Amino acid sequence: MNEAVFQSFFLIFTGSAVIASLAIYGRQPLLVAYIALGALIGPYGLGWVQDVHLLSEISEIGIIFLLFLLGLDLQPQSLMAALKKVTVVTLISSLLFAAAGYLIGYIFGFSPTECLIIGAAMMFSSTIIGIKLLPTTILHHRHIGEMMIGLLLMQDFLAIFVLLVLLSGEGGQIDLMQIGFTLLSLPLLILFSWAFVRWVLLKLIARFDRMGEYIFLLAIGWCMGLSELAEVVGLSREIGAFLAGITLASSPISQHIALTLKPLRDFFLIMFFFSLGAGFNLGLLPEIALASLVLGCVMLALKPVTFRFLLKRQSEKNVLAWDIGFRLGQISEFSLLIAYVAFNASLIGVLASHLIQAAAILTFLISSYIVIFNFPNPIAVKEHLRRN
């Protein structure tokens, strides 16, 4: 077992280093390289890496750190202002994307339940892609960053509600009591995290802020601890990680913590994108190729136009509206989770599950290209677009 894990890590990171070098010379986005490597050496490719499920579970830590660092970059007052501005935009756009997904599923002959879940999976954009390609020092503290992060958070709340419905009872039946308990637990978790940071963490940080190793450990412990607590009360680890970050954002040492944890975040995100490519069954691709191509292309075209129109109606500048629209032009990693949960609950078949996965991967790839070649981002191939 130890030998297999070591060999998997060797193949993932040595392979990623090689293929990333080729991607940089070829002026290609690195995210695409990691996904392609997973498809190439995963169980449905050459078969060199077999235990994708274990790697996928490990890689979820990268998403947790991503949300934690996102929270560290946001002041609570700015977040609340952004959420107020984007609530209507999020709800209207999500309904439109869901309707489009349902219609495409119906056209290709999927059952009504499968069409509903395909539509639900289309409502969201990728937090990982969006934030990974958003320059930290340039945009996070500007209006565009606040608006985009607000949209993603509202979508995440909707995604968690959809997952609650799927997970609330046997066979995906709705358990209103469980859902009500979970919704009640969110404000209680916010209150607990705020009080714990104010009366415990900030005092520890103030007393031992010169001990870098201790601050590093304290930050990770707080992030992982609140993430697990959120999971226990029925929310998600991602929401817990974000709350852990935003409650620490007012600390003078928050930016030091963010800089310290970024390499750790990137380590796990490489595994996430690798496992995404490795987990896709290439043998089913011919059966869903046309449907996934249509679904992915419709989303890639519909999302930027919809966000641009709705944001423009809220008096946002045209350039900003297009920028946000294209950055959010893909399907979400939550869509993959919805497909997984729905398939395990026997609500959708294997073809519907792989349709959602294929469309998500397609939009991940194309959306990354669009952003990297046209908008400011940390890994742009054009020098004038590169922003860290």
How far apart CA 388 and CA 75 sit, in angstroms, is 20
Q: 164 with 178: CB under 8 angstroms?
A: yes
Q: For position 382, what pLDDT does the model report?
A: 72
> What value, to the nearest 5°, has the Cα angle with vertex 174 and ends 170 and 176?
120
Neighbours of 88 (CB within 10 A): 13
The listed range with the strongest mean pLDDT (20-34, 102-116, 139-153) is: 102-116
Reported as a single tens digit per residue, the pLDDT across 20-61 is 888 877 666 677 788 889 888 888 888 888 877 777 777 778
Tokens representing 59 are: 């890689």
CA angle 78, 82, 87 (to 5 degrees): 150
Instruction: Give the E-state strand segments of 45-117 in sequence order.
Output: none
pLDDT tens-digit profile of 220-254? 999 999 999 988 887 778 778 888 888 888 787 78
Residues 278, 43: contact at Cβ < 8 Å?
yes
- The predicted-structure confidence for 309-362, as pLDDT tens digits, reads as follows 998 887 778 888 898 899 999 998 788 878 877 887 778 888 998 899 889 888
What is the pTM (predicted TM-score) of this model?
0.74
Residue 201 has what DSSP assignment? Answer: I
C-alpha dihedral sign at 286, 287, 290, 292? negative
DSSP state of 386: B
